Structure 1
């Protein structure tokens, strides 16, 4: 009996060892969470930003509705915390996730850690901010982008301001992080709206997507340009900083704002006319669409290119 059991025990041990070795490196087909479902990592930007809070809630609801995956979601401390995102990506690799859906804080700096994730067998999906094409090419990556047309959205928002101010209206642009693709695209959209509407762009400054920085930058711009009539803010967090700066300068009603993101906190200023327009890019649905693409990839489908998501300009009349 002993001679029969020992080889059997060795065979079981060998099988277990081979199984463990096969999982090393986080192969996407082997990665699973609760109940054997594949794990999808969602890595976002600052969860201090209501936009990404909404994205997380929408993603969790979408994952629960699907019921065929385990979702882990994480964010970073602030919009420039690139190291925090890299750590989150590395954790997804360590945890052997099947797929990683990422809204990058930097369009180039995140490519290298994502390349390591891909090498570990993790499927990649890019949402919100497009990764840099040159950096992707250099890394040998082909990552589908699920997100909106930021240039078109900013242009539509800017057109509302141009119509309100008329030709020769004087405006400034509050930019996002200089290296972020969506910051560049939204600036381009605002500039296109200004050119088409005959507005004069007095200056463009980065406030790194942050409310406090936007307050300081806008205060300085109001001081430098006493005849300022409009602010084109590349996200609502910066628009809220501009609102505070305008109030502090006692220029309510004289300087109008248009923006991007449609967070709840900006709605009171849409209602009172300080903010003329913002842009809803449906962050929860966008994350859900990214999860759907990730699951298609896990299932063996090769997804490439740009999967466009919806945009809508929101004005006072849309508040209900």
Structure 2
């Protein structure tokens, strides 16, 4: 919890003051080929020609990972993500593979067929638990679906790292399972940050709604709870609807269509990912109401970035997938090299809106 608060404080400083600090040097490069070389931030996800906000995020995240592990020696890391049907996870796959090449790690990325297919995702993890991986990084569809597979990996002595959406640790512990590392996002803080930024564009208040993701998904619940807390404690804001969109574009479109029929004077919609937010924008455009309703999503996908630039979508919240995946692989290296991991690692966040979107050119 303390680490989480530090990250939040640092991010506030970044957002308010606009300080863009380059990555710090973690020591001179070891040029002796007979001695191990420690990885550092200079060999990073963001080159000097790329977005400085990425470098700022990376500095914050790498400080939590210090000391850096030695360069990879061809370790085999299996990665299980949620589904390639979501552009966010498709991008994460690409970033994992790129980071693996840079870090000297063999990375295999697998996924479930769809975002709601909990059974297939578990079957995939079960198969990974009998392979020759040095570690497994996984992002579960919900808090419980991968617990049997985690236990099988534990029994096979394969270290497991939970990246992103969380596991029900109480249920895991009751079955004598354990995690070797956690790298995640404060999803509740995501919801809080989005809601607070939306309020800047709603000076007169009004009715707002939340479109959730899949029931039981930790990121959906956290984002919803964070935004709900802000909306319900803000004078002049009336939270009129919270409905599950299941990360599905069509469902989000239908929810928005019904929402504006029931509440034609609605002023704001927060969708728990960009896929659903973009669907909400499409439904509002079809009704001729897009210029009257503030819409925010989560993930800052390429399509969302284009939509914000064009003035269709109002905002999103992001963390760098390039930094996030690199940090996950660094954590895997640290564990493989015998470093003890005691605390969760938290990825810092950044709000993107129509007023600052041009600062995110080169984002990855």
Regarding TM over 0.5, the answer is yes
Query: Is 1:224 the counterpart of 2:262 in the alignment?
Result: yes
After TM superposition, the structure 1 stretch with the greater mean CA deviation from structure 2, 304-313 or 178-187, is 304-313
Kept after mapping to 2: 8 A contact 1:159/1:197: no
Whole-angstrom distance in 2 between the partners of 1:139 and 1:79: 26
Whole-angstrom distance in 2 between the partners of 1:84 and 1:317: 41
Correspondence 1:282-293 to 2 at 5 A: 282-293=320-331
2:194 alignment counterpart:
157
Whole-angstrom distance in 2 between the partners of 1:218 and 1:58: 32
1:182 alignment counterpart:
219
Correspondence 1:122-201 to 2 at 5 A: 122-143=158-179, 144-198=181-235, 199-201=237-239
**Matching residue within 102, 118, 121 for 2:154:** 118
Deviation at 1:271, TM superposition (A): 2.3
Kept after mapping to 2: 8 A contact 1:239/1:257: yes
Whole-angstrom distance in 1 between the partners of 2:289 and 2:197: 20
Whole-angstrom distance in 2 between the partners of 1:287 and 1:182: 17
Deviation at 1:179, TM superposition (A): 0.4
1:255 alignment counterpart:
293
Correspondence 1:46-65 to 2 at 5 A: 46-65=83-102
Kept after mapping to 2: 8 A contact 1:160/1:258: no
* Cα pair distance change 1:274/1:161, threshold 3 Å: farther
Residue ranges of structure 2 left out of the alignment (5+ in a row): 1-71, 359-364
Correspondence 1:26-37 to 2 at 5 A: 37=74
Kept after mapping to 2: 8 A contact 1:256/1:274: no
Deviation at 1:81, TM superposition (A): 1.2
What SS class does the counterpart of residue 303 from structure 1 fall into?
coil
Counting matched residue pairs gives 285
CA displacement, residues 100-127 of structure 1 (integer Å, 9 cap, x when unaligned): 1001111111111111111111100001
Whole-angstrom distance in 2 between the partners of 1:140 and 1:303: 19
Whole-angstrom distance in 1 between the partners of 2:148 and 2:340: 21
Correspondence 1:101-112 to 2 at 5 A: 101-112=137-148
* Cα pair distance change 1:83/1:113, threshold 3 Å: same
Kept after mapping to 2: 8 A contact 1:258/1:277: yes
2:62 alignment counterpart:
none
2:37 alignment counterpart:
none
* Cα pair distance change 1:252/1:38, threshold 3 Å: same
Deviation at 1:196, TM superposition (A): 4.1
Deviation at 1:85, TM superposition (A): 1.2
What SS class does the counterpart of residue 278 from structure 1 fall into?
strand
1:317 alignment counterpart:
355
2:13 alignment counterpart:
none
Kept after mapping to 2: 8 A contact 1:100/1:124: yes
What SS class does the counterpart of residue 253 from structure 1 fall into?
helix
Greater Rg over alpha carbons, structure: 1
Residue ranges of structure 1 left out of the alignment (5+ in a row): 1-34
Give the alignment's TM-score, normalised by structure 1: 0.84
1:265 alignment counterpart:
303
Deviation at 1:53, TM superposition (A): 1.6
1:204 alignment counterpart:
242
